């Protein structure tokens, strides 16, 4: 079979509209739609309305639909020839908080291109990738006046805070959202020049642990030694979560872990991955985790428990002799099929109860969670994506797992009962959630061509 190519009409349109596509993306990135911060609620709403207007401008019917949280933007185009399939494209228009601001080379909401990279909060996660979809759809409608399939575009504003209201939204609009496949670009490629299709995502169970001791901070000389120190009690609890081999020591934690399909594990071993390179990229000399597993196995196929943050006692300049009254830690588990966040919550709470020292009160609160996901990778949409990525990147994609989480993927699969294709255009080191987030301009360009080609390939 000849290597697939990007259709000439779409290529020509994309090339001649390059500047406008970038200018509009810059406008989108300038809106500080930080979903976690109430002071940014007007900006988050402004981003939703901005997107709604852009969808209307390319010929979609579009509306901003309120939820108990941030609204959903729903765009629809349903004029494909009779019998054509319907696809649902999902993305998110909210972004993570930009702090710490002083670590950005240029401000988070002033998009800037340096060394072929577009820097801005949301450039890769996920406004840039959502924009790829909008402009790919425009390429079709502008050149041909039509699309080969019906398209629903759903953009949410709460992904970065746990998609709390999205499952209910999908259930409540299941008929309207009925489709043949869901397509999501909110992830990364394996390496520069190597496009990928995701075979799995990890799930999440997030907790806050609070340890409370004396009724106020105490002089550590006058009371220390006789009163249980909440910071030490918390440190003790945290230290019981893993055994010496890096396994999680919570009873029953691994009970539901399914073996990973042999074909996926075999494929993983063939990927060009180097521990030396990985250590250099993250700036460490030695790697940790479960003994006897490769790095990719640890990242993609195994569950984890990590401390995300800790707070206790005096942390200012110099020394202060104090016995803190309380201590807090944020702890989260990444989950793999078939672990259930609710069951993990029960097991973790039982474990903490067992190991908590006397003399302090310990509470565990579950913050949010999401189920792990595994793709079956069979079907038209996956084959079409493989050809479209080949056309745009000059080589066939690899299949890869992913350590991050997109909780709504399982909801789409369960409620709409359709396959979900995850194809992303970020890169390792892109600084998602961190200062100096970027997307490679060339990946944006090629991603746009891949997605524009996808709709032709899917309906061939």
Residues at the interface with ligand BES (CB under 6 A): 125-126, 159-160, 162, 186-188, 204, 368, 370, 402, 404-407
Based on CB atoms, which residue is closest to ligand BES, 280 or 433? 433
> Which residues, including other chains, have CB under 8 Å from residue 261's CB and lie 6 or more apart?
none
Based on CB atoms, which residue is closest to ligand BES, 43 or 125? 125
Q: How far is the CB of 399 from ligand BES (least distance, A)?
A: 14
Based on CB atoms, which residue is closest to Zn ion, 125 or 138? 125
* CA–CA dist 72, 45 (Å, integer): 10
Based on CB atoms, which residue is closest to Zn ion, 352 or 439? 439
Q: How far is the CB of 126 from ligand BES (least distance, A)?
A: 6
Beta strand pairing call for 322-323 and 218-219: antiparallel
Q: Which residue is closest to ligand BES by CB?
A: 404
> Which residues, including other chains, have CB under 8 Å from residue 315's CB and lie 6 or more apart?
none
CA gyration radius for the chain? Answer: 24
Nearest-10 Cα torsion for 134, 439, 124, 447: 40
Alpha carbon 438 to chain centroid, angstroms: 15
320-331 burial, b at 16+ Cβ within 10 Å, e below that, comes to eebbbbbbbbeb
Q: How far is the CB of 284 from ligand BES (least distance, A)?
A: 19
Tell me which of ligand BES, Zn ion, none is bound by residue 402, counting a contact when its beta carbon lies within the kind-specific cut-off of 5 to 8 angstroms: ligand BES
Based on CB atoms, which residue is closest to Zn ion, 52 or 125? 125
* CA–CA dist 433, 436 (Å, integer): 9
Tell me which of Zn ion, ligand BES, none is bound by residue 406, counting a contact when its beta carbon lies within the kind-specific cut-off of 5 to 8 angstroms: ligand BES
What x-and-dash track marks residues 104-133 binding Zn ion by CB under 5 A? ---------------------x--------
* CA–CA dist 185, 450 (Å, integer): 11
- The first and second tokens of residue 302, run together, are 């195994």
Beta bridge partners, 62, equal: 75
191-222 burial, b at 16+ Cβ within 10 Å, e below that, comes to beebbbbbbbbbbbbbbbbbbebbeebbebee
Based on CB atoms, which residue is closest to Zn ion, 11 or 125? 125
Residues binding Zn ion: number (CB under 5 A): 1
Tell me which of Zn ion, ligand BES, none is bound by residue 24, counting a contact when its beta carbon lies within the kind-specific cut-off of 5 to 8 angstroms: none
Q: How far is the CB of 72 from Zn ion (least distance, A)?
A: 17
Q: How far is the CB of 454 from ligand BES (least distance, A)?
A: 19
> Which positions are annotated as active-site residues?
94, 159
* CA–CA dist 371, 312 (Å, integer): 31
Q: How far is the CB of 40 from ligand BES (least distance, A)?
A: 17
Based on CB atoms, which residue is closest to ligand BES, 180 or 430? 430
Q: How far is the CB of 408 from Zn ion (least distance, A)?
A: 12
H-state helical runs in 394-436? 408-411
* CA–CA dist 185, 361 (Å, integer): 44
CB 369 within 8 A of CB 341: yes
* CA–CA dist 344, 65 (Å, integer): 34
Which residues contribute to the site for Zn ion (CB under 5 A)?
A: 125
């Amino acid at each position: 079979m000849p290597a697939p190519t990007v259709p000439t009409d779409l290529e020509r349109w994309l090339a001649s509209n390059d500047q406008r596509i970038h200018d509009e993306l810059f406008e989108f990135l300038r809106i500080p739609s930080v979903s976690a911060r109430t002071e940014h609620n007007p900006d988050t709403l402004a981003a939703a309305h901005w997107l709604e207007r852009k969808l209307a401008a390319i010929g979609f019917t579009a509306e901003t639909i309120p939820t108990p949280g941030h609204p959903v933007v729903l765009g629809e185009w349903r004029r494909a020839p009779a019998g054509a399939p319907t696809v649902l494209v999902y993305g998110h228009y909210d972004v993570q908080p930009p702090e710490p601001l002083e670590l950005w080379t240029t401000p988070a909401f002033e998009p800037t291109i340096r060394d072929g990279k577009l820097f801005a909060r949301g450039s890769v996660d996920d406004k840039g990738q959502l924009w790829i979809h909008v402009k790919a759809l425009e390429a079709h409608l502008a050149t041909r006046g039509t699309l080969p399939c019906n398209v629903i575009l759903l953009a949410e504003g709460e992904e970065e805070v746990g998609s709390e209201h999205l499952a209910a939204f999908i259930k409540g609009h299941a008929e309207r959202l009925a489709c043949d496949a869901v397509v999501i670009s909110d992830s990364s490629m394996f390496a520069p020049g190597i496009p990928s299709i995701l075979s799995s995502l990890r799930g999440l169970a997030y907790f806050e642990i609070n340890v409370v001791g004396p009724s106020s901070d105490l002089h550590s000389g006058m009371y220390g030694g006789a009163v249980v120190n909440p910071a030490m009690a918390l440190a003790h609890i945290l230290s019981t979560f893993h055994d010496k081999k890096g396994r999680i020591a919570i009873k029953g934690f691994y009970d539901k872990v399914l073996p990973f399909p042999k074909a996926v594990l075999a494929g993983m071993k063939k990927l060009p991955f180097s521990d030396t390179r990985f250590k250099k990229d993250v700036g460490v000399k030695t790697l940790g985790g479960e003994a006897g597993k490769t790095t990719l196995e640890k990242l993609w196929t195994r569950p984890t428990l990590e401390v995300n943050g800790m707070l206790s006692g005096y942390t200012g300049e110099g020394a202060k002799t104090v016995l803190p009254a309380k201590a807090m830690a944020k702890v989260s588990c990444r989950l793999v099929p078939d672990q259930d966040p609710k069951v993990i919550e029960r097991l973790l709470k039982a474990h903490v109860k067992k190991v908590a020292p006397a003399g302090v009160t310990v509470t565990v609160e579950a913050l949010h969670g999401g189920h792990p996901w595994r793709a079956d990778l069979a079907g038209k949409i996956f084959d079409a994506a493989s050809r479209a990525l080949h056309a745009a990147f000059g080589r066939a994609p690899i299949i890869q797992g992913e350590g991050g989480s997109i909780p709504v993927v399982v909801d789409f699969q369960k409620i709409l009962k359709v396959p979900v294709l995850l194809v992303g255009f970020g890169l390792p080191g892109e600084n998602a959630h961190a200062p100096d987030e970027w997307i490679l301009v060339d990946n944006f360009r090629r991603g746009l061509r891949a997605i524009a080609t996808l709709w032709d390939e899917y309906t061939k």
